[in-house]
Structure 1
Amino acid sequence: MPDTRHIRRQKGPVMIGMRVFVILYLFFLIAWPVSEVVKRTFAPVEQGAEGGFGAFWERLQDPAVQYAFSLTGTVALWAVIINTVFGVGISLLLVRYRFPGRRVLSVLVDLPMSVSPVVVGLALVLAYSSGSGWFGERLEGAGIFIIASTPGLIMATAFVSLPLVIREVVPTLQEIGTDSEMAAHSLGAGGWQTFRRITLPSIKWAVVYGVVLSMARSLGEFGAVKIVSRGAEFQGETATLLIQNRYNNFDESVAYAAAFVLVMASVLALVVVSLIRKEDHS
């Protein structure tokens, strides 16, 4: 049997060095910048001014801020609903069926993860704007407005967060196999009944996991909505656009407060994901 004591002695300093490097990397890239946002959120705007939670809460009472978060919540909710329904459907199609173009569909599903969100927004403008869009004039003639309206924001947000549900559900479907579903079919269960009683309970945690990640991604979307939205107060200004506009206009205290809310939403999503993983493995 080879002597591993020497290897362990040599491995110790290497592992310590790697851990220190990772900790420093995460500190300077994530922890320090985020902590600056938190610190400035509760700091007084100027010498002698009030800071703390009271000032933070007062900044959130701004009607423009409430409008931005209300619009962000509406857009994110609809984007998550759309991606959940279609994500589960596409996952079943990719895993349970064999058809020409299946690999192409699988590649297209990952496209939003590799394409810049700004390009996504531009593509939507080219397709649905009234001036140069393929369908824009006809849709607007029917009273349906996409670009510079809430539907356009939903489409842009749904596009960039599309793969998150699918890439959580697909591995779970592959893992559980088809034995239970085939047994249900042999006993006379229909397709919907099999899905509701067999498939969905088996993938529920993967769906919830994907929904949480999709919601977190949707709340923080900036690039795509920047292109398809007017981006002005009470005119398509989402929370991320509000942060940019207020920061550029030197209203930094409101920008910090809005950023802090989005940070807390991301932290909450991480907590939920951790609890889901614990529940899934229990």
Structure 2
Amino acid sequence: MARYALRSAALVYLLFLLILPVGLIGWRTFEDGVGPFVDALTTHSALHAFRVTFVVAGWAVVLNTLFGVLAALLLVRRDFPGKRLFNALIDLPMAVSPVVVGLALILVYGAFSPVGGWLEGRGFQIIFSTPGMVLATVFVCLPLVVRAVAPVLEEMGDEQEQAARTLGAGGWQTFSRITLPGIRAALGYGIVLSLARALGEFGAVAVVSGRTVDETQTLTLFVEERFENFDAQASYAAAFALAVIAVVGLLATRLLRPKDGT
């Protein structure tokens, strides 16, 4: 009885917290048919929001992938002063509110800050433009690739890498032929997690983007802006599109997640 009660409690919890809200969005999206859904997502503003979202998420994933692999190799394969501090700082984005992240970026890269003013004086605008949105998204996704790859590197050990170097392989050859194949599944898992997180980011991007329609508006900002302007159909359609992307990302992570003992 206790086992069934626990299962029922978990199902009820998921029903009211996840299934009903997402299901209601789907129902509201298609209650008038597929036509309004297609029309809402093919407007100029919606298509621009999609484009900005994928540009920002794409750059963030590329940068986080490069940093994640290098950081994981550094943490697992090297000992250096400040290693424990570096390891702790990687998890900082998980504890800091994205809104705080956005505000911090404005203080550093805003037009009235020394760094931001110097950059804008040379034609590089960071805040209220795509670079600032990329920086904010990179920050919130920072730990995902590192934490996916590092445990696999530890499990692999470095015996094969040492053997390859002994036989004359260079650093890039060792990485591409030994290390990369060993971490490929974990790396893919981290990349998909980063992409899903980047596509759904709201708080930090909302602060640094300026929320300018048809300029710096991502899909999550589009949902909020359309809902506040009483365009419920467009808001529901964009929210449903984000939910579908999230489900696809979840399925991909399940397929790419490294199995225990492999």
* TM-score, scaled relative to structure 1: 0.91
Counterpart Cα distance in 1 of 2:20 and 2:261: 33
Counterpart Cα distance in 1 of 2:175 and 2:30: 49
Counterpart Cα distance in 2 of 1:277 and 1:96: 22
Show the 5 A alignment for 1:39-188: 39-43=27-31, 51-131=32-112, 133-188=113-168
Equivalent residues of 1:117, 1:224 under 8 A apart: yes
Identity of aligned residues (%): 50
Q: 1:278 to 1:161 in 2, by over 3 A?
A: closer
Cα deviation code 1:23-63 (max 9, x no counterpart): 111111111111111110112xxxxxxx2112211111110
Q: 1:100 to 1:92 in 2, by over 3 A?
A: same
Counterpart Cα distance in 1 of 2:182 and 2:256: 14
Deviation at 1:232, TM superposition (A): 2.2
Deviation at 1:234, TM superposition (A): 1.1
Larger Rg: 1
Equivalent residues of 1:220, 1:240 under 8 A apart: yes
Counterpart Cα distance in 1 of 2:12 and 2:238: 27
Asked which structure has the greater RCO (Cα within 8 Å, sep 6+), the reply is 2
The alignment status of 1:222 with 2:202, answered yes or no, reads: yes
Counterpart Cα distance in 1 of 2:13 and 2:260: 31
The residue type paired with residue 22 of structure 2 is V
**Alignment counterpart, residue 19 of structure 2, candidates 25, 31, 51:** 31
Deviation at 1:281, TM superposition (A): 7.6
Q: Match of 1:148, SS?
A: coil
Deviation at 1:75, TM superposition (A): 0.2
Show the 5 A alignment for 1:225-240: 225-240=205-220
Q: Match of 1:216, SS?
A: helix
Counterpart Cα distance in 1 of 2:192 and 2:164: 30
Q: Which runs of 5+ in 2 are unaligned?
A: none
Q: Match of 2:114, SS?
A: coil
Counterpart Cα distance in 1 of 2:258 and 2:183: 15
Deviation at 1:271, TM superposition (A): 1.1
* TM-score, scaled relative to structure 2: 0.97
Counterpart Cα distance in 1 of 2:209 and 2:260: 39
Equivalent residues of 2:36, 2:233 under 8 A apart: no
Equivalent residues of 2:222, 2:235 under 8 A apart: yes
Equivalent residues of 2:185, 2:258 under 8 A apart: no
Q: Which runs of 5+ in 1 are unaligned?
A: 1-12, 44-50
The alignment status of 1:241 with 2:229, answered yes or no, reads: no
**Alignment counterpart, residue 198 of structure 1, candidates 178, 182, 185:** 178
Equivalent residues of 2:54, 2:199 under 8 A apart: yes
RMSD: 1.3
Structure 1 segments, 4+ long, off by >3 Å, are 277-282
Equivalent residues of 1:79, 1:157 under 8 A apart: yes
Q: 1:157 to 1:278 in 2, by over 3 A?
A: closer
Counterpart Cα distance in 2 of 1:90 and 1:171: 12
**Alignment counterpart, residue 273 of structure 1, candidates 250, 253, 257:** 253
Aligned twin of 1:46: none
Deviation at 1:15, TM superposition (A): 1.3
